[in-house]
């Protein structure tokens, strides 16, 4: 569980793109924690722990049955949560980040996963393995997802 504790930022990022409020965020975080805990015995160290964690976190987010708490969008937490910035963190980037999160939330579940893995600099080979599609297909799908994202960001 040490590894998880150190890498929990990955899970928080996944939660942020797949949920729209703090309650859902906490629910998903908890579910991912449970899945990581339950499956840790099957983690044989053939990949880096963080890589394995990406997969479990995304799969859980994609396959989780969301409780029907469709809360009103005005309760979104995204707009304020990135204001706590470090010294070298400028305002433009802050705005970009907020815009980015809002745009990603408009994508479908699979595109969310693709874009997330792209932003995390995962190579196509790993993305293909994680999603269970071929590398060529991963590239095609990624390009489409990026196009969709760009359209949302610059309408």
Partner 1 sequence: MDLSHYKKAWKNQPDENNKISQNEIYKMTQSKSTSIVKWIFIIGILEFVVMNSFYFLFDDTSQKEMMETYGMTNVLLVSQIIAYIILFYFLIMFYKNYREISVIENTKSLMTKILKTRKTVRNYVIFNLTYLVFISIMISVGSLRTEYAHFSTKESAMFLVFMVILTGIMVLVFWLFYQLLYGILLRKLNKNYKSLSDLEMK
Among 50, 51, 122, 153, binds partner 1 (CB under 8 A): 153
**121 φψ region: left (φ > 0), alpha (ψ -120 to 50), beta (else):** left
DSSP state for residue 47 in the 8-state scheme: S
In the complex, least distance from residue 87 CB atom to partner 1, rounded to whole angstroms: 11
Among 48, 71, 75, 93, binds partner 1 (CB under 8 A): 93
Report d(CA 61, CA 68) in Å as an integer: 15
Q: Which residues, including other chains, have CB under 8 Å from residue 7's CB and lie 6 or more apart?
A: 49, 50, 53
Choose between 106 and 137: whose C-beta lies nearer to partner 1: 137
Half-sphere exposure of 19 toward its Cβ, with a 13 Å CA cutoff?
30
Please report, as ranges, the residues that interact with partner 1 according to CB under 8 A: 1-2, 4-5, 8-9, 12-13, 27, 29-31, 33-39, 42-43, 52, 55-56, 58-60, 62-67, 82, 84-86, 89, 93-94, 96-97, 99-100, 108-110, 113, 118-119, 129-134, 137, 140-141, 146, 149-150, 153-154
């Amino acid at each position: 569980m040490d590894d998880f504790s150190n890498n929990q930022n990955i899970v928080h990022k996944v939660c942020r793109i797949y949920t729209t409020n703090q309650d859902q965020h906490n629910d998903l975080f908890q579910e991912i924690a449970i899945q990581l805990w339950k499956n840790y015995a099957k983690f044989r160290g053939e990949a880096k722990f963080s890589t394995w964690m990406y997969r479990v976190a995304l799969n859980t987010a994609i396959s989780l049955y969301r409780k029907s708490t469709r809360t009103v969008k005005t309760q979104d937490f995204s707009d304020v949560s990135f204001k706590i910035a470090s010294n070298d963190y400028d305002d433009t980037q802050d705005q970009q980040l907020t815009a980015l999160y809002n745009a990603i939330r408009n994508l479908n579940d699979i595109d969310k996963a693709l874009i997330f893995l792209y932003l995390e600099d995962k190579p196509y080979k790993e993305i293909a393995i994680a999603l269970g599609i071929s590398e060529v297909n991963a590239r095609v799908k990624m390009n489409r997802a990026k196009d969709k994202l760009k359209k949302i960001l610059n309408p």
